[in-house]
């Protein structure tokens, strides 16, 4: 039995990339992602989508005292330093802190439109801050950095991503990583959450096909597709009812494949070197679809640890890959 | 929500528990807290403690106070539960002590810890296989045979209890069952776990309730009626006590703290392992919350409370002198049942065959239940090794039900190998002692990790829900320090008291434990070198990226 494969490139050229996905607003994970290039010594960073957070934690401010509920606990702060610690802990967990008076919090709580506007404002402000930081780090580290949104990210994020000067907004286009071409797509197939970027399988296949047709050398390319291929082992999640409650069978949650058949089909058709996925946080792993190595680095963003995978590529094959949690 | 351009707006926000949340795809983990509590409860299940360990310990250590030993073991149980639990909250990933120690201390130490844990659980599996036959199936068949008046069953029970071939064969069958349960994936596994758990627990509850409502005098009378056809004695109950005295057992001893200490050691073989969900931290729902460590603590405390309650009931109804004598060799040979388990005494008092069969079948479910849980630990640890690149990726291959079948196969083969050693080379208590002491190396390593985590991983600690403090000191550090002290105490007890299985085997035990530690260290350095030659830096796996 061959325990581990050892490889060298026939022409000596290698490209090493670090891929992570689904940081969902975790400031800490984002900063670790930006640091991963120099830490792991890779040539390029790829962020596979779902950048924005899912929750805002209101911090009630009253007479210099602050109070918030975080992960089921009441947290209090009574000085700027303690407030800083509290907001850091909120950001660490992938949520957005929002300091406001109890009256403002109560007002927003009652008003869906106000919450919607608050989310847009907070998310975009935070994303703009992230992208500015990424431009700065990319320039310093002289490294490729590719970023795209995911199905959970609102469309307004794209404008912020496209405003970057060095970070490359790679969604729905062909990008270049050394000798490799890469296509990227943020869309997923339909989910029970009715998230912003979903397409039915036929429409998804159409988009993927149009992108893949732009490749000169599909066999040496990279597919950076947010949603994993259907029934690949990278897409197993517990079945959810339309009301977002768990489906129980025999008293237990029911794990099912929830990936995209269109993604599976396009990978099998074009057989890229490697396909990179996210979306299903709990399905970290690898799979082989023909000659293509499909990888899902998974995500555990609210622990403050970023799940990623380092892939070392020769021109015509994958030399090695390594899952890491940083 | 999809508009005419194919684009969608942010889904409508909602308010939830002090949060503003929006609709977004989410992770739903497979193991609910209730199943987690059962997992943590199983290793210290009162059935095992009461039937296989405690009364035997009292017979060996007259004067040892059963209730005091429970009270002294309780803080140890809590120390280990909170050391594992609070660390798992910070690092909610599958792999147990390997994951916790390697991430907080060093990778090599993580390997040493998990090799010790794995060796201990292989030994523990061997012990369970022996216990399944010698204190489960054998006594069960004999007991049911006596109550039903079946000489065949009595004969089978006697044969099974002393035959090494049967011990090996039935032990292997139990491992095969544990493997089959896991091959079906989480859903089947949790269902079988729940069924077996409630069978075992139900049989204990029924026996306890019957004993509670049976007076001491009524038990004596019923027991004598049951025994009379076999012993031809009018008062077999008194004969048992007399037999115990004749066999050298002090059946009514005065309290002795010196004899209470070894009882603590024996109790610790079952009562301090309520951290099994640490091995499935990555599959546990709400793993990052304090519920994780509380479920571990409850999983340790509830069994001890039940041992206490049922102990009181059984002592009261059966009589302390009788229990000591029966477990110390006082039972007349015609009705002797190894270990004199509580279910046999209750069934004998009722003299009802159907009841005996049902309770016996429920009772023996305990050992396969714990064997599956031990094997689950090994598969998760191998899985974590493979993800970290220490073992080949193919070890993580899953079958259609999501079971890592290669890892499972390795774990079962290793268990079978240790079982062969246990059956043909060792003694029952030797296996139990080795398993306990080697496991404590891993448990104390987790204790060290818990003590240093605020200093070594300060940001992870600060952002976690593990920041509870007592007198200003982080609870995780208190639990870690208490876990180390507990481990040292249990080691000292086992090394000091000759009856606990180590006496006469010091050299062999040193070879087992030192060999395990050295093998782990050597394994890590060899793998690291091999992987470096392949362009893979294994150190990356364990390092946290310093954020910008």
Full 3-state SS string of B233-276: CCCHHHHHHHHHHHCCCCCCCCCCHHHHHHHHHHHHHHHCCCCH
Whether B3 is in a domain gets the answer no
Q: Does B410 touch chain A (CB under 8 A)?
A: no
Whether B277 is in a domain gets the answer yes
Task: Choose the most confident range, by mean pLDDT, from A39-43, A118-122, B418-422.
Answer: A39-43
**Which residues of chain A lie closer than 8 angstroms to B30, CB-CB?**
238, 252-253, 255
pLDDT given for residue B394 in this prediction? 79
**Which residues of chain B lie closer than 8 angstroms to A34, CB-CB?**
548
For B:76-95, CB contacts with A below 8 A are 90-93
Which of A92, A133, A253 is nearest residue B463 as measured by Cβ atoms? Answer: A92
Distance from CA of A129 to the nearest CA of B (A): 13
In a mutagenesis test of the B interface, which of A22, A115, A143, A317 is the best target, namely the one with the most B β-carbons within 10 Å? A115
Distance from CA of A231 to the nearest CA of B (A): 10
Which of A4, A194, A319 is nearest residue B392 as measured by Cβ atoms? Answer: A4
Distance from CA of B502 to the nearest CA of A (A): 39
**Which residues of chain A lie closer than 8 angstroms to B18, CB-CB?**
57-58, 68-69
Tell me: pLDDT of B2 over 50: no
Tally of domains in chain B:
1
pLDDT given for residue B3 in this prediction? 28
**Which residues of chain A lie closer than 8 angstroms to B387, CB-CB?**
284, 323
As a whole number of Å, the CA-based R_g of chain A is: 21
| Mean pLDDT in residue range B152-162 | 90
User: Tokens 């069958």, residue?
Assistant: B173
Q: Please, which pLDDT band fits residue B28 given cuts at 50, 70 and 90?
A: very low
Query: Nearest-CA neighbor of A296 among A233, A209, A254?
Result: A233
β-pair partners for A198 = A188
Strands annotated E in B330-472? 469-470
Query: Nearest-CA neighbor of B405 among A238, A275, A233, A294?
Result: A233
Q: Please, which pLDDT band fits residue B5 given cuts at 50, 70 and 90?
A: very low
pLDDT given for residue A181 in this prediction? 97
Element (H, E) at A17: strand A14-20
Per-residue b or e along B442-458, where b marks 16 or more CB atoms closer than 10 Å to that residue's CB: bbbbbbbbbbebbeebe
User: Tokens 């990278």, residue?
Assistant: A234
Q: Is A210 exposed, middle or buried (0-12, 13-18, 19+ CB in 10 A)?
A: exposed
Q: Please, which pLDDT band fits residue B29 given cuts at 50, 70 and 90?
A: low
Which of B23, B534, B548 is nearest residue A6 as measured by Cβ atoms? Answer: B534
| Mean pLDDT in residue range B527-539 | 87
Which of B1, B543, B544 is nearest residue A194 as measured by Cβ atoms? Answer: B1
Cα distance between residue B352 and residue B355, in whole Å: 5
CB contact under 8 A, B22 and A54: yes
CB contact under 8 A, A31 and B548: yes
Which of B20, B29, B392 is nearest residue A115 as measured by Cβ atoms? Answer: B20
Model ipTM value? 0.77
Query: Nearest-CA neighbor of A94 among A34, A11, A25, A2?
Result: A25
Q: Does B28 touch chain A (CB under 8 A)?
A: yes
The string of pLDDT tens digits covering residues A67-123 is: 998 877 788 899 999 999 888 888 877 788 999 999 999 998 888 888 888 988 989
CB contact under 8 A, B19 and A57: yes
Cα distance between residue B432 and residue B126, in whole Å: 9
Helix axes A27-40, A112-141, angle to 10 degrees: 20
In a mutagenesis test of the B interface, which of A241, A294, A305 is the best target, namely the one with the most B β-carbons within 10 Å? A305
What are the structure tokens assigned to B386, written together? 């493979």
For residue A87, give the chain B residue with the closest CA. Answer: B463
pLDDT given for residue B384 in this prediction? 85
Q: Please, which pLDDT band fits residue A325 given cuts at 50, 70 and 90?
A: confident
Task: Choose the most confident range, by mean pLDDT, from A210-224, B13-27, B379-393, B430-444.
Answer: A210-224
Cα distance between residue B458 and residue B471, in whole Å: 19
Element (H, E) at B521: helix B506-533
Whether B2 is in a domain gets the answer no
Which of B11, B393, B548 is nearest residue A194 as measured by Cβ atoms? Answer: B11
For residue A23, give the chain B residue with the closest CA. Answer: B26
The string of pLDDT tens digits covering residues A158-216 is: 999 999 999 999 999 999 999 999 999 999 999 888 899 999 999 999 999 999 999 99
Q: Taken in order A22, A24, A28, A31, is the CA torsion positive or negative?
A: positive
Contact B536, B391 (CB under 8 A): no
Element (H, E) at B474: strand B473-474
Cα distance between residue B94 and residue B98, in whole Å: 9
Q: Is A270 exposed, middle or buried (0-12, 13-18, 19+ CB in 10 A)?
A: buried
Whether B466 is in a domain gets the answer yes
| Alpha carbon distances (Å) from B273 to B161, B314, B440, B522 | 28, 25, 10, 28
CB contact under 8 A, A55 and B22: yes
pLDDT given for residue B7 in this prediction? 32
Other beta carbons within 10 Å of A131: 23
The lowest-confidence range among A15-24, A255-264, B235-244, B505-514 is B505-514
Q: Does B409 touch chain A (CB under 8 A)?
A: no
Distance from CA of B524 to the nearest CA of A (A): 15
Query: Nearest-CA neighbor of A53 among A117, A123, A112, A130?
Result: A123
| Mean pLDDT in residue range B480-495 | 96
Q: Taken in order B369, B372, B377, B378, is the CA torsion positive or negative?
A: positive
Mean pLDDT for chain B overall: 87
Q: Is A183 helix (H, G, I), strand (E, B) or coil?
A: strand
Cα distance between residue A89 and residue B462, in whole Å: 8
Per-residue b or e along B33-53, where b marks 16 or more CB atoms closer than 10 Å to that residue's CB: bebbbbbbbbbbbbbbbbbbb
Q: Does B536 touch chain A (CB under 8 A)?
A: yes
What are the structure tokens assigned to A157, written together? 């994020």
Tell me: pLDDT of B296 over 60: yes
What is the DSSP code (8-state) at residue B535? Answer: T
The lowest-confidence range among A254-263, B8-17, B289-298 is B8-17
pLDDT given for residue B242 in this prediction? 95
Whether B98 is in a domain gets the answer yes
Q: Does B316 touch chain A (CB under 8 A)?
A: no
For B:183-212, CB contacts with A below 8 A are 185-187, 190-191, 194
Cα distance between residue A226 and residue A224, in whole Å: 7
CATH number, residue B464: 1.20.1740.10
Contact A260, A230 (CB under 8 A): yes
Cα distance between residue A306 and residue B466, in whole Å: 20
Whether B21 is in a domain gets the answer no
Distance from CA of B288 to the nearest CA of A (A): 7
What are the structure tokens assigned to A315, written together? 């021109």
Q: Is B291 helix (H, G, I), strand (E, B) or coil?
A: helix
Cα distance between residue A248 and residue A253, in whole Å: 5
pTM of the model: 0.78
CB contact under 8 A, B541 and A324: yes
Domain of B219? 31-536
What are the structure tokens assigned to B506, written together? 């010091």
What are the structure tokens assigned to A214, written together? 């732009």
Whether B24 is in a domain gets the answer no
β-pair partners for B31 = B284
Cα distance between residue B318 and residue B326, in whole Å: 10
Q: Please, which pLDDT band fits residue B22 given cuts at 50, 70 and 90?
A: low
Distance from CA of B394 to the nearest CA of A (A): 9
Strands annotated E in B295-394? none
Cα distance between residue B435 and residue B124, in whole Å: 6
**Which residues of chain B lie closer than 8 angstroms to A7, CB-CB?**
534
Contact A91, A30 (CB under 8 A): no
| HSE, side-chain direction, 13 A CA sphere, residue A12 | 0
CB contact under 8 A, B15 and A152: no
Q: Is B228 helix (H, G, I), strand (E, B) or coil?
A: helix
Contact A237, A159 (CB under 8 A): no
CB contact under 8 A, A193 and B191: no
Torsion of CA B453, B457, B458, B464, to 10 degrees: -80
Cα distance between residue A187 and residue A199, in whole Å: 7
Distance from CA of B410 to the nearest CA of A (A): 15
Q: Does A87 touch chain B (CB under 8 A)?
A: no
Distance from CA of B544 to the nearest CA of A (A): 4
In a mutagenesis test of the B interface, which of A39, A72, A111, A203 is the best target, namely the one with the most B β-carbons within 10 Å? A72
Cα distance between residue B155 and residue B531, in whole Å: 57
Which of B13, B283, B465 is nearest residue A73 as measured by Cβ atoms? Answer: B465
CB contact under 8 A, A56 and B543: no
Query: Nearest-CA neighbor of B390 among B81, B157, B118?
Result: B118
User: Tokens 């940081």, residue?
Assistant: A23
Counting residues of chain B whose pLDDT is more than 90, the rounded percentage is 49
CB contact under 8 A, A31 and B459: no
Contact B548, A34 (CB under 8 A): yes
Cα distance between residue A65 and residue A62, in whole Å: 5
Query: Nearest-CA neighbor of B367 among B133, B202, B198?
Result: B133
User: Tokens 């949690």, residue?
Assistant: A325
pLDDT given for residue A8 in this prediction? 46
For residue B390, give the chain A residue with the closest CA. Answer: A4
Phi then psi for residue B55, to 5 deg, are -70, -35
Q: Does B532 touch chain A (CB under 8 A)?
A: no
Domains and CATH numbers, chain A: 14-54+112-325 (3.60.21.10)
> Which one is predicted more confidently, B432 or A243?
B432
Distance from CA of A301 to the nearest CA of B (A): 11
Tell me: pLDDT of B231 over 80: yes
Q: Does B539 touch chain A (CB under 8 A)?
A: no
Q: Is B302 exposed, middle or buried (0-12, 13-18, 19+ CB in 10 A)?
A: middle
Q: Is B164 exposed, middle or buried (0-12, 13-18, 19+ CB in 10 A)?
A: exposed
CB contact under 8 A, B20 and A324: no
Whether B260 is in a domain gets the answer yes
Cα distance between residue B465 and residue B382, in whole Å: 28
Other beta carbons within 10 Å of B403: 21
pLDDT given for residue B18 in this prediction? 56
| HSE, side-chain direction, 13 A CA sphere, residue B38 | 21
Query: Nearest-CA neighbor of B73 among B84, B83, B81?
Result: B81
Number of residues that make up chain A: 326
What are the structure tokens assigned to B66, written together? 């059963």
Q: Taken in order B209, B133, B277, B50, is the CA torsion positive or negative?
A: positive
Distance from CA of B355 to the nearest CA of A (A): 29
**Interface size, chain A vs chain B, as Cβ–Cβ contacts under 8 Å:** 211
């Amino acid at each position: 039995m061959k325990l581990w494969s050892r490889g060298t490139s026939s022409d000596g050229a290698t490209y090493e990339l670090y891929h992570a996905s689904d940081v969902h607003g975790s400031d800490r994970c984002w900063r670790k992602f930006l640091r991963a290039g120099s830490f792991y010594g890779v040539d390029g960073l790829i962020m596979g989508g779902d950048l924005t957070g899912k929750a805002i934690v209101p911090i009630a401010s009253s007479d210099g005292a602050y109070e918030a509920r975080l992960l089921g606990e009441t947290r209090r702060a009574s000085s700027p330093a303690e407030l800083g610690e509290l907001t850091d802990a909120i950001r660490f967990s992938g949520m957005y802190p929002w300091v406001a008076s109890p009256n403002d919090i109560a007002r927003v709580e009652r008003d869906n439109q106000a919450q919607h506007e608050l989310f847009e404002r907070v998310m975009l402000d935070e994303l703009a801050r992230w992208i500015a930081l990424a431009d700065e780090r990319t320039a310093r580290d002289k490294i490729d950095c590719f970023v795209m949104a995911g199905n959970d990210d609102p469309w307004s994020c794209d404008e912020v991503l496209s405003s970057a000067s060095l970070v490359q907004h790679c969604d729905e286009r062909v990008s270049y990583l050394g000798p490799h071409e890469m296509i990227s797509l943020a869309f997923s197939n339909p989910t029970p959450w009715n998230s912003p970027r979903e397409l039915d399988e036929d429409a998804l296949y159409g988009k993927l096909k149009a992108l893949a047709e732009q490749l000169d050398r599909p066999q040496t390319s990279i597919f950076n597709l947010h949603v994993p291929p259907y029934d690949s082992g990278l897409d197993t999640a517990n079945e959810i009812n339309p009301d977002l409650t768990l489906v129980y069978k025999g008293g237990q949650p029911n794990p099912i494949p929830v990936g995209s058949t269109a993604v599976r089909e396009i990978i099998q058709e074009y057989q890229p070197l490697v396909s990179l996925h996210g979306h299903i946080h709990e399905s970290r792993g690898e799979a082989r679809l023909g000659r293509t190595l499909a990888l899902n680095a998974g995500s555990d963003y609210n622990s403050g640890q970023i799940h990623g995978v380092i892939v070392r590529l020769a021109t015509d094959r994958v030399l090695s890959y390594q899952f890491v949690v940083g | 929500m999809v508009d005419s351009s194919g684009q969608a707006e942010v889904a409508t926000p909602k308010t939830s528990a002090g949060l503003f949340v929006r609709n977004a795809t989410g992770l739903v983990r497979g193991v609910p807290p209730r199943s987690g509590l059962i997992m943590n409860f199983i290793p210290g299940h009162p059935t095992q403690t009461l039937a296989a360990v405690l009364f035997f310990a009292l017979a060996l250590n007259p004067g040892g106070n059963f209730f005091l030993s429970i009270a002294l073991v309780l803080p140890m149980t809590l120390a280990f539960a909170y050391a594992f639990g609070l660390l798992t909250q910070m690092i909610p990933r599958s792999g147990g002590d390997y994951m916790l120690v390697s991430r907080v201390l060093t990778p090599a130490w993580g390997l040493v810890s998990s090799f010790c844990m794995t060796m201990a659980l292989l030994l523990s599996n061997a012990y369970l296989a022996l216990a399944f036959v010698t204190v489960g199936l054998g006594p069960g068949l004999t007991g049911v045979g006596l109550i039903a008046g079946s000489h065949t069953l009595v004969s089978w029970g006697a044969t099974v209890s002393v035959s090494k071939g049967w011990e090996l064969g039935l032990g292997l069958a139990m491992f095969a069952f544990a493997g089959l349960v896991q091959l079906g994936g989480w859903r089947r596994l949790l269902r079988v776990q729940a069924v077996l758990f409630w069978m075992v627990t139900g049989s204990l509850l029924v026996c306890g309730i019957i004993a509670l409502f049976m007076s001491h005098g009524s038990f004596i009378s019923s027991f004598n009626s049951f025994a009379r056809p076999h012993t031809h004695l009018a008062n077999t109950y008194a004969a048992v006590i007399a037999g115990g005295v004749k066999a050298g057992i002090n059946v009514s001893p005065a309290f002795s703290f010196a004899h209470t200490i070894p009882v603590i050691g024996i109790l610790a073989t079952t009562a301090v392992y309520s951290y099994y969900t640490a091995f499935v931290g990555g599959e546990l729902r709400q793993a990052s919350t304090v519920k994780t460590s509380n479920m571990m603590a409850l999983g340790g405390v509830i069994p001890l409370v039940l041992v206490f309650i049922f102990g009181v009931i059984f002592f009261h109804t059966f009589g302390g002198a009788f229990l000591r004598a029966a477990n110390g060799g006082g039972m007349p040979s015609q009705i002797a049942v190894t270990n004199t388990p509580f279910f046999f005494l209750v069934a004998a008092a009722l003299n009802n065959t159907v009841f005996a069969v049902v309770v016996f079948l429920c009772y023996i479910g305990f050992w396969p239940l714990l064997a599956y849980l031990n094997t689950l630990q090994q598969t998760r640890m191998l899985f974590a090794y493979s993800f970290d690149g220490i073992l080949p990726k193919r070890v993580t291959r899953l079958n259609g039900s999501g079971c890592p079948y290669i890892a499972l196969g390795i774990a079962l083969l290793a268990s079978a190998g240790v079982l062969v050693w246990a059956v043909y080379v060792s003694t029952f208590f030797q296996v139990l002692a080795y398993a306990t002491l080697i496991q404590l190396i891993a448990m104390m390593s987790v204790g060290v990790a818990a003590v240093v985590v605020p200093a070594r991983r300060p940001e992870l600690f600060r952002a976690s829900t593990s920041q509870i403090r007592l007198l200003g000191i982080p609870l995780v550090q208190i639990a870690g320090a208490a876990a180390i002290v507990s481990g040292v105490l249990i080691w000292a007890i086992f090394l000091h008291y000759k009856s606990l299985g180590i006496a006469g085997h010091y050299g062999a035990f040193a070879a087992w434990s030192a060999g395990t530690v050295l093998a782990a260290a050597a394994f890590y350095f060899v793998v690291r070198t091999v992987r470096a030659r392949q362009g893979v830096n294994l150190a990356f796996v364990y390092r946290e990226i310093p954020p910008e």
